[in-house]
Amino acid sequence: MAIASMTGFAREAGITGPYQWAWEIKTVNGRGLEVRVRMPPGLEAVGEEARNQLLKALTRGQGQLNLTLTRASTAPRLRVNQEALQSLLGAIGGLSLPETVKPASLDGLLAVRGVVEVDEGVAEPGQDDALLPALKAAVTGLIDSLKEVRLQEGRALSNVLGQQLDRISELVDQAEAAPARQPEVIRARLQAQITQILEAGGASLDPARLHQEAVLIAARADIREELDRLRAHVEAARGLLSEGGPVGRRLDFLAQEFGREANTLCAKANDVSLSRIGLDLKSVVEQFREQVQNVE
């Protein structure tokens, strides 16, 4: 199983009867799972059903689901309301009109509101028997397309993260082999520091006490545990990438652990070469952490 990105876009469009429609879904990274929906009036229930399907298909990310709907313009059909016309004629026939008033003409009667009705011949979107099934069926394809896009992005992410883990491993090996970590180098450096203290007027200091302090300093400067933990974190991260699925939160936790160990290594570094390695390590770890934020 591969990892998936939280970033993706998909579109499904079609024509049903007089309606032209298009579903669009866009997702970005997020700590949890949230999908917002924007629907034309009368289709809110379809939007809520689509939202529930997305919530079941995804595990993390923020999504925006939109449906656009346009209706083709068609020539309306006109219908004479016979009941209204007859009622109007009866009302006029019962009137006693002056000789100066002309009889009602046909065009005048038809111009009276309600006598001629305009029939668009198209049902409202929420009541269209063909439109609703088409919209619902398209949601399945929309989700499949979105998941495929997120998987494609995930494959690219996996390659980038793998390269960054390789770089972290290289830097750990460099720190391991750094000359400043060799026991004889540490011993010589501490001896030089003690000699400098004694020459500066520390002859009255207890040599045994100085030896104990030197041992403590050497222990505090030892980065063996940090290097071991960094190697363990690298293996754990590679295992998660191989496992695939929704591993983003666990990778994020490992990124934080990488950061802690890199900071400790820099703090313990007592040599320019180790400090440089530690800074390079912190830079790669930060890049790793940024990329992990996009993993589902």
Would you write out the chain's pLDDT as a tens digit for each of its 296 residues?
899 999 999 999 999 988 899 999 999 999 899 999 999 998 999 999 999 999 999 999 999 999 999 987 555 566 777 777 777 677 777 667 676 667 667 777 677 777 776 655 555 676 677 899 999 999 999 999 999 999 999 999 999 999 999 999 999 999 988 876 555 566 666 666 666 666 665 556 566 655 555 555 555 567 888 999 999 999 999 999 999 999 999 999 999 999 999 999 988 877 788 889 999 999 999 999 999 999 99
Q: What pLDDT does 268 receive?
A: 81
Query: Which of these, 273, 263, 259, lies nearest to 181 by C-alpha position?
Result: 273
Q: Is domain 8-73+126-150 given the CATH code 3.30.230.10 in the classification? A: yes
For residue 71, the tally of other CB atoms under 10 A from its CB is 15
Longest dimension (CA), the chain: 140
Query: Helix or strand or coil: residue 169?
Result: helix
Q: Is 42 left (phi over 0), alpha (psi -120 to 50) or beta?
A: left
Give the per-residue pLDDT at 76.
Answer: 58
Q: Residue 6 carries which DSSP code?
A: S
Q: Which segments of the chain belong to CATH 1.20.140?
A: 154-292
| 3-state DSSP assignment of residue 138 | helix
Measure the CA angle with vertex 159, ends 144 and 150; round to 5°. 15
Nearest to 287 by CA among 265, 264, 250, 262: 262
Shortest CA distance to 294 belongs to which of 161, 147, 144, 109? 161
Instruction: Choose the CATH number for 154-292 among 2.30.29, 1.20.1440, 3.40.50, 1.20.140.
Output: 1.20.140
Report strand pairing: 33-38 vs 61-71: parallel
Amino acid at 234: V
